[in-house]
Amino acid sequence: MDSIWSQTCQIKERSPLSGDLETEVAVIGAGMAGVLIASALQEAGKRVVVLEADRIASGQTRNTTAKLTSQHGMIYRKLTDTLGKKMARQYAMANEAALAEVRHMVAERMIDCDLEAQDAYVYGDDADKLRSEAECAAALGLPASFVETTALPFPTAGAVRFEGQAQFHPLKFLKAMVEPLTIFEHTRVQEVEEHRLITEHGTVTAEKIVFACHYPFVNFPGLYFARMHQERSYVLALENAPMIDGMWVFADGASNPYSFRTWNHLLLLGGGGHRCGENSAGGRYDELRRKAREWFPESREAAHWSAQDCMPAESVPYIGRYAASRPNWYVATGFQKWGMTTSMVSAMLLRDLICGRENPYAEVFDPGRLDMETIPGVLEESGQAVKGHTKRLFQIPAETAEKLQPGHGGIVFLDGEKVGVYKDEDGTIYPVDLKCPHLGCQLEWNPDEKSWDCPCHGSRFDRYGALISGPAQTGTHAEP
């Protein structure tokens, strides 16, 4: 189902690339990150072209919940303890600057995008941890405090409040931002050379190339596949529910792990987060519906949708040079479900890097960092990849195609081959190759979205095997 953002804002279609062209900067991807990066570079005087595989904002951005805040869960105690106060302050101030920049743009360009001030809260069951987070964030210069009572429909031990944050309609904002940009839609970048992007409609030669495609699809150099995974979560938009003031997310370990924000007359209830590819039991929307009935018995569901984001091994996005061996490539990824402000951080930071200016926040986001903190996360990602390969080779399917219920999918033996199968309502069977075209892990069925998802790196395919989102760049159809 479409998100409330897609249902209420249409962005004019652009033509695909046609032939070859040259430019100063080529940006891959027209989500929140690609659009803001392109816009900042164009404002700085660069000639910029954006190539988008599908439509503008057709990736994760259309399915976000669009809270604009420097409060990224309970991150500041963690960053201070692992990377030190200097890095934690850079992270904090970069996101505060990004929030201010969004406000500035909306005011200066008079963008009608439902931007409104809201306080942001992270709630939980452990008051000591919440207090510690509030103190740490305040010491870094953030507008943070601990509050004992919350507006939520269940008991908590309190919350960390960040005053003066904001929420908006992400597509109304992007619709205005893309206006002056040169964007080619339906133009997937298939290959990337040092200064050249190859698509099926032509090539773009560029001095600088920016990967803003959510998950970088060039595996070597960069090794981004070993440094992050993707997490998916689910959202209901509820009519006739109470309008809870503020924007709310949960702290790790909270007994009620949900998120809340309002838009117009709707309350958005989010939750059900899991590593992409690990939802074979399903029931994520049903769980949210149960909670909606319990807490807001008068409410009605107006829409539901889901999205996923890249979770970096050491809890800091990768924004900067792609790899030491590719000095003209740049990347913005690993936004850990906070890509509204982090896309703006990416825009300001990459504009400065590409224009040869100093940026006060570059160090903490530098993808070139690799310290002892990174290594456990990298090892964990590698362990998951080994698991994904092993399952494909050795796991025996528990289902047979005959036993699958209509409208369901599963892993079966079909004509002696282990394949993924979707059975439609008429009983027709659609087989897919279970080997993810990205790096070969075994795909898993996601009953909530009726999709095939990769547990290693988070590529997704529809029930028939067509690509939904990367890092894979092709579909996964079984041999006839």
Residue type at 420 in one-letter notation: G
Residue 64 or residue 476: which is nearer to ligand FAD going by CB? 64
Closest CA to 238 of 257, 261, 254, 255: 261
Spatial distance between the Cα atoms of 270 and 260, rounded to a whole number of angstroms:
6
Residue type at 205 in one-letter notation: T
| CA angle (326 as vertex; 320, 327 as ends), nearest 5 | 60
Q: Distance between alpha carbon 399 and the CA centroid of its chain, in Å?
A: 32
> What is the closest distance, in whole angstroms, from the C-beta atom of residue 411 to ligand FAD in the complex?
26
Cβ-proximal residues to 118 (8 Å cutoff; 6+ apart), any chain: 67, 165, 166, 167, 245, 246, 247, 261
- Strand 202-211 and strand 326-333: pairing? parallel
DSSP state of 477: B
Residue 309 or residue 381: which is nearer to ligand FAD going by CB? 309
Residue 196 or residue 392: which is nearer to ligand FAD going by CB? 196
For 79, the 3-state DSSP assignment is helix
Residue 73 or residue 431: which is nearer to ligand FAD going by CB? 73
Sheet strands (E) in 52-143: 67-68, 116-123
> What is the closest distance, in whole angstroms, from the C-beta atom of residue 396 to ligand FAD in the complex?
33
Residue 113 or residue 235: which is nearer to ligand FAD going by CB? 235
Residue 59 or residue 431: which is nearer to ligand FAD going by CB? 59
> What is the closest distance, in whole angstroms, from the C-beta atom of residue 273 to ligand FAD in the complex?
8
Q: Please give the residue ranges that form the binding site for ligand FAD (CB under 6 A).
A: 28-34, 51-54, 58-61, 64-67, 188-189, 212-214, 217, 233, 235, 270, 307-309, 335, 337-341, 343, 470, 473
> What is the closest distance, in whole angstroms, from the C-beta atom of residue 136 to ligand FAD in the complex?
21
> What is the closest distance, in whole angstroms, from the C-beta atom of residue 55 to ligand FAD in the complex?
7
> What is the closest distance, in whole angstroms, from the C-beta atom of residue 404 to ligand FAD in the complex?
29
Cβ-proximal residues to 84 (8 Å cutoff; 6+ apart), any chain: none
Residue 309 or residue 453: which is nearer to ligand FAD going by CB? 309
> What is the closest distance, in whole angstroms, from the C-beta atom of residue 372 to ligand FAD in the complex?
27
Residue 310 or residue 362: which is nearer to ligand FAD going by CB? 310
Q: Is 480 exposed, middle or buried (0-12, 13-18, 19+ CB in 10 A)?
A: exposed
> What is the closest distance, in whole angstroms, from the C-beta atom of residue 50 to ligand FAD in the complex?
9
- φ/ψ region of 334 (left if φ > 0, alpha if ψ in -120 to 50, else beta) reads left
Give whole-number Cα distances, 149 to 51, 156, 158, 259, in Å: 47, 8, 5, 16
